[in-house]
Amino acid sequence: MFDLDALTLARIQFAFTVSAHIIFPAFTIGLASYLAVLNALALRTGRPVFIDLFNYWKKIFAVSFGMGVVSGIVMSYQFGTNWSVFSDKAGPVIGPLMGYEVLSAFFLEAGFLGVMLFGRERVGPKLHFVATLMVALGTFMSAFWILSVNSWMQTPAGYGINEVGQFIATDWWAVVFNPSFPYRLVHMLLAAYLTTAFVVGAVGALHLLRDRGNQAARIMFSMAMWMAAIVAPMQIAAGDFHGLNTLEYQPAKVAAMEGHFETHAGAPLILFGIPNAAEGRIDYKVQIPLLGSFILTHDWNGVVRGLNEWPAEERPPVGIVFWSFRIMVGIGFLMLGIGAWSLWARYRRRLYDAPWLHRAALVMGPSGFAAVLAGWITTEVGRQPWTVYGLLTTAQSASPIDAAAIGASLIAFVIVYFALFGAGTFYILRLMNHAPRPAEPGLPAEEPIRAGGIMPGPVMAAKNALPAAE
Amino acid sequence: MTLDLPLIWAGLIAFAVLAYVVLDGFDLGVGILFPLIRGEADRDEAMNSVAPVWDGNETWLVLGGGGLLAVFPLAYAIIMSALYVPIIVMLLALVFRGVAFEFRWRTKRGQFLWDWSFAFGSILAAFAQGVTLGALVQGIAVEGRAYGGGWWDWLSAFSLLTGVALVIGYGLLGATWLIWKTEGQVQRRAYALALWAAPATLLLIGVVSLWTPFLNSLYAARWFGWPQVLLVGPVPLAVLGAGFLLLKGLRKRQELAPFLASLSLFVLCFIGLGISFFPYMVPHAVTIHAAAAPDNSLAFLLVGAAVLVPMILAYTAYAYWVFRGKVKAVGGYH
């Protein structure tokens, strides 16, 4: 790695820190909503098992949320440290959107996370439910603004360029709701829900394999399998729409995803093969005739543009995009398969008595994370060589920093992230390894009031309940 | 009437940075003093005193960084690449201490590791922030619209001194916070530590203040030129006053006064910095107006900030009000 130039190192570093970060939001966005649903069910049905489940997942949420916060602080500075020219030029457009992300996340998280974690005993079930809903809304707002920023970089709209070469907004509505944003937002939110569903399903499956009578494990497994059965097909449809949008605005990316070098009418769908960028072809390919054109243009003889239409320096790296796209799609169809299998087991009334389904769901536990990462790699590598698509190249965006400095900090990030987030993942897995049990405790009493910190509501309630303690 | 949006935003960013420095300052300070607090129960008590507020405090740093990108993208671009090393070090150090708050309660066997992670991360983060400040004060080489120096330019005797000064200054904030929020053994320990940190902080403020005019003649002109010396003169006098109140409060074993006096020292030093910097965003290279994004970007975000920042402030103030009183090792606040 000592031959790498500063630009490559900066890209590796950004890819590493942003990949490490996306894992946590991908999980907490879905988990926040799941907690809100559990809370609503507890309120509606009054069954204690929903409170047990809420308390069980709340502890896991707290640990992963903490890691999301610290890795997120790093991200808000990485734009300047690694991409200072990009920050200067695109800052006037994307900066305010990121500012809104910080402000809304700040308010909703600081305000309500604590109440949610601290427990419904202190504030009463209604206020507690509102707090949980607000946390879910906060994570949604974060995703909304950040995806708007990313989408604007992919499909810029509503901008002008001023006399010093900065992008400026001419129409904020067009900037925020740029052409790829609605598709990306839906695709990512569904991905977050699926990721969480498969984690919840795996934990449920694990405890069903140990004790198929565990009531809480049954409920979480059943809920997760409903999500898989319903959301996986929705996600495949959303992905298809997103792909069509990409074909319209970033056709070179789609050509790399599909592995098309030549422009075809009636293009095949290439299932597998080894991309050979130097020769401009896919070796050893397995393909289905005409299906590629049908999927992309909804016409068996539609014309699909190949990478050869772009000059070599404007083509994305084919190998990475080709494979990451297949990994994402492959996992998507496996998820669909699990969903269908669970429907069949449910129909036969054997959902809790299907060890092979449980084993498969257990193995699929981390699959959502792999799919999210593969999907982001597809879209981010696929838009190369641009940071702002068609307008500003990645090479033009970089900071004037020596390769040695970026290399050294990259090594530091890798070591620190693996050590600390590795420890955090270990604690999460250990929490998941405990079977959920009746009267699942909240956060232990000897621990301080913490994480998400500012939580006056519960403390006020506690003070009012125990005036003698003052 | 047209609003001077860049100036308003410079004020807002300065406020966010000041809020960060004084708020995260005392909880970083508790981390800095952690190795000097002995015994598990005492450490639990010290950590519990900041546990409910630390991440709210730290979010001001995100607001400062994110805000800078949004409204002063040029300054953000130049400063982040010029101060690459200390900023990366600070971010990594903040990861170490941030996760310690959660992980420390997830293990008994490994608790000592997270204690060290908390202390080491706090000390390193404070030092890196001090170095960042010192490097900014001594000036940054700018070419065109980019940083024009090398990646070791930040390292100087002056920036190392400001690094040490901030570690000790945060230590003072942490010690006086603990005096206010704890009692018994932890409070006695905090008095002893504050009696060391207070004179050391005052001495370092003096050395840094006297050194600064020699870094650049523009600083000297700002502070010693006639007649503005009449305008800026009250700041050093107020520092002396706050220092006197701090030492007096510590000697008389007052509980709140030392913390307030330490906070005033930080606010006054920050005002001093503002006097030195104005009207520059990057000292003597890029002014506030040159660094600012176009007015429509500033206005777009100002609408949200005008609504949300007061709400955040009200909420924060309310939270501190609710968490008033002494902390115990077990069970958080009582």
The string of pLDDT tens digits covering residues A384-398 is: 888 888 888 888 888
pLDDT band for A176, please (50, 70, 90 cuts): very high
The shortest C-alpha distance from B147 to chain A (Å) reads: 7
Residue B246, min C-alpha distance to chain A (Å): 29
Read off the pLDDT band of B108 (50, 70, 90): confident
**Phi and psi (nearest 5°) for A84?**
-70, -35
Peptide bond into B199 cis (omega under 30): no
**B332–A449 CB contact, under 8 Å:** yes
Crossing angle of helices A6-45 and A48-82, rounded to 10°: 160
Look up the ipTM and state it. Answer: 0.82
Nearest to B70 among A98, A114, A463 (CB): A98
Structure tokens at B315: 């909420």
Half-sphere exposure at residue A327, Cβ-oriented, CA atoms within 13 angstroms = 18
- Indicate whether A448 pLDDT > 60: no
pLDDT the model gives residue B32: 94
Reference A325, options A268, A281, A278, A273; nearest CA is: A273
Q: Which pLDDT band holds residue B334 (cuts at 50, 70, 90)?
A: very low
A–B CB contacts, 8 A cutoff, strictly below:
258
In chain A, whose CA is at the least distance from the CA of B70?
Answer: A95
**pLDDT, tens only, A184-218:** 999 999 999 999 999 999 999 999 999 888 889 99
Query: What are the DSSP calls for A62-95, one per residue?
Result: HHHHHHHHHHHHHHHHHHHHH-HHHHHHHHHHHH
How many domains would you assign to chain A?
Answer: 1
Instruction: Give the span between the Cα atoms of B154 and B127, in whole angstroms.
Output: 13
Q: Name the nearest CA neighbour of A186 among A131, A271, A243.
A: A243
Task: Please state, in angstroms and as integers, the Cα–Cα distance from residue B150 to each residue in A6, A7, A448, B134, B141, following that order.
Answer: 14, 16, 45, 16, 9
Look at the block and give the residue holding tokens 């907690």.
A35
Does A415 contact B at CB distance below 8 Å?
A: no
More confident residue, A462 or B128: B128
Closest CA to B104 of B94, B113, B92, B93: B113
**Does residue A91 surpass a pLDDT of 70?**
yes
CB contact under 8 A, A399 and B311: no
Interface test with A, best of B60, B88, B114 (most A CBs within 10 A): B88
Mean residue pLDDT of chain A comes to: 84
A376 within domain boundaries: no
Q: Which residues pair with A288 in a beta bridge?
A: A269
Which domain covers residue A460, as residue numbers?
1-178+402-470
* Neighbour-count burial of B110, counting CB atoms closer than 10 A to its CB (0-12 exposed, 13-18 middle, 19+ buried): middle
Residue A212 placed within a domain: no
Residue of B nearest to A421 (CA): B99
Say yes or no: A405 contacts chain B, CB-CB below 8 A. Answer: yes
The pLDDT confidence band at residue B148, using thresholds 50, 70 and 90, is confident
Q: Is B85 on the interface with A (CB under 8 A)?
A: yes
Instruction: Tell me the pLDDT tens digit for each residue of B258-316.
Output: 999 999 999 999 998 888 888 888 888 888 888 888 888 899 899 988 888 888 888 77
The pLDDT value given to residue A462: 40
Q: For position B150, what pLDDT does the model report?
A: 81
Which has more pLDDT, B315 or A411?
Answer: A411
Burial, A262: exposed, middle or buried (Cβ in 10 Å; 0-12, 13-18, 19+)?
A: middle
Instruction: Please indicate if any CB of chain A lies within 8 Å of the CB of B308.
Output: yes
| Model confidence at A456: pLDDT above 50 | no
**Could you tell me where the DSSP H helices lie in chain B?**
5-33, 40-50, 54-71, 73-82, 84-103, 111-138, 157-181, 184-215, 217-224, 228-232, 234-251, 257-277, 288-291, 295-322
pLDDT of residue B129: 94
Report which listed range, A221-230, A236-245, B39-48, is most confident: A221-230
Phi, psi values for residue B197, rounded to 5°: -70, -35
Is 80 exceeded by the pLDDT of residue B139? yes
DSSP letter string, A83-144: -HHHHHHHHHHHHHHHHHHHHHHHHHHHHHHHHHHH-HHHH-HHHHHHHHHHHHHHHHHHHH
**Domains, chain B, ranges and CATH?**
5-322 (1.20.1630)
For B17, B98, B115, B126, the CA distances from B90, given in Å and listed in that order, are: 15, 12, 18, 8
In a domain, A297, yes or no: no
Residue A134 falls inside a structural domain: yes
Stretch 430-469 of chain A: residues touching chain B, C-beta under 8 Å = 430-431, 444-456, 459-460, 463, 469
Residues of B in contact with A396 (CB under 8 A): none
Residue B76 to residue A470, Cβ atoms within 8 A: no
CA neighbor of A190 nearest in space, from A380, A382, A372: A372
Say yes or no for a CB contact (<8 Å) between B330 and A446.
yes
* Residue A259 resides in a domain: no
Query: What pLDDT score was predicted for residue B140?
Result: 86
Chain A closest-CA separation from residue B44 CA (Å): 9
Task: Quote the pLDDT of residue B178.
Answer: 92
A219 within some domain: no
Question: What pLDDT does A445 receive?
Answer: 46
> Among candidates A372, A374, A400, A397, which has minimal Cα distance to A385?
A397
| Strand intervals (E) in A220-297 | 264-265, 269-276, 281-288
Mean pLDDT, rounded, for A63-76: 82
Nearest to A336 by CA among A187, A214, A228, A263: A228
Selected residues 124-163 of chain B with any CB under 8 Å from a CB in chain A: 145-148, 150-151
A388 lies in some domain:
no
Name the B residues in 28-47 with CB < 8 Å from any A CB: 44, 47
Share of chain A above pLDDT 90, in %: 29
Q: Do A70 and B59 touch (CB under 8 A)?
A: no
Which residues from B are below 8 Å from A111, CB to CB?
315
Note whether residue A265 is domain-resident.
no
**Most confident among A65-79, A357-371, B300-314 (mean pLDDT):** A357-371
Tell me the residues of chain A between 209 and 248 that have a Cβ less than 8 Å away from chain B.
none
Judging contacts by C-beta atoms under 8 Å, the chain B residues touching residue A459 are 322-323, 333
CB contact under 8 A, A102 and B62: yes
Residue numbers in B near A91 (CB within 8 A): 69-70, 73-74, 76-77, 293
* Complete DSSP assignment for A1-47: -TT--HHHHHHHHHHHHHHHHHHHHHHHHHHHHHHHHHHHHHHHH--
Residue A135 has pLDDT above 90, yes or no: no
Looking at beta carbons, which residues of chain B come within 8 Å of A405?
84-85, 151
If you ran DSSP here, which 8-state letter would residue B35 be given?
A: G
Q: What is the dihedral of CA B192, B193, B198, B201, to 10 degrees?
A: 160
